[in-house]
A and B are shown apart, each in its own frame.
Chain A
């Protein structure tokens, strides 16, 4: 199935792209899909801790609604990935 990822803030910088389309096996979860991506160490560190578990501070949306990494995806889903940002 094809999943569209939209990246924001630091995730966008680390991915080197605002958006990309990813192909994964039917029934894959968001976490399983993220683990197939290879955008380098900075991207991985934003999404996963040292043990490989998803960082709880990342905000995921699937088709505009809040989602967890364990959510199963469907063909054509749009996933938004936000890393935390602060102010000044």
Chain B
């Protein structure tokens, strides 16, 4: 993916010293993180810790989209929210908490959820997209925009004690519509989950984003990583493009890296 690296300051070299030591990452990888813009849909139980990890890793710019105000039931998992912020916009709390950790980062806080009306514009301003949305209409809107614009999308999800993450590279891997060719009729907006379980998906998704931006390791492109925290079983499941997919079917790209 195309990112313009940005030189580091001496302070940043100090802050990111331990990750600069990671083999294959180095200052070059850190400069790429600093030059990258990520769009994250929602900053709740999944998007919140994901944003926090991207911020701590030194991403240059975050565009976060999330409407609504903090509710009591958010506080079991939305770790960017605070009890003192109940009733106030979630995006305000997210922005403040992220900048407390990383004041060098630019944060564009969009106080609305992503949908068909704004997805193309928001995706167009990002190098990489993280789909953490609770509703499939949002997920499909981002998927379509990412496919149309050729942007990578890290797709994360959770339910109860389970979670899953995959990386969508338009034209190379299945897109979201390949995996789910319609709106799942049984999916409910409110579902059982622990914050610790959604944070696992968030951390994995953040790591995948860092890998994609820095060119590290083997991304989950063409694989769905599934985990079950009840048994602590993790599986990497190959997934395939759906022939004739109405969203990505016309794209002819290189095959995803072999697993």
List residues of chain A with CB under 8 Å of any chain B CB: 8-10, 13, 42, 45-46, 49, 55-57, 59, 61, 64-66, 80, 82-88
> For B131, B134, B183, B237, which residue has the most chain A Cβ atoms within 10 angstroms?
B237
**A residues less than 8 Å from B159 (CB atoms):** 9-10, 85
> For B44, B163, B180, B228, which residue has the most chain A Cβ atoms within 10 angstroms?
B180
B239's closest neighbor in chain A, by CB? A66
**B residues less than 8 Å from A84 (CB atoms):** 136, 157, 179-180, 184, 187
Q: Say if the beta carbon of B133 comes within 8 Å of chain A.
A: yes
Q: Within residues 172 to 212 of chain B, which ones have a CB less than 8 A from any CB in chain A?
A: 179-187, 191, 193, 198, 201
The CA of A46 and the CA of B187, in the complex, are separated in Å by 9
A8 touches B162 (CB 8 A): yes
Q: List 26 A-B contacts (CB under 8 A).
A: A9-B159, A10-B159, A45-B185, A56-B182, A57-B180, A57-B182, A57-B183, A57-B185, A59-B224, A64-B237, A64-B238, A65-B238, A66-B237, A83-B186, A84-B136, A84-B179, A85-B157, A86-B136, A86-B157, A86-B187, A87-B44, A87-B46, A87-B158, A87-B198, A88-B44, A88-B77
Q: Within residues 206 to 236 of chain B, which ones have a CB less than 8 A from any CB in chain A?
A: 224, 226, 228, 235
- Other CB < 8 Å A-B pairs besides A84-B136, A87-B133, 5 of them? A56-B182, A59-B239, A66-B239, A83-B186, A88-B47
B157 touches A87 (CB 8 A): yes
The CA of A56 and the CA of B136, in the complex, are separated in Å by 15
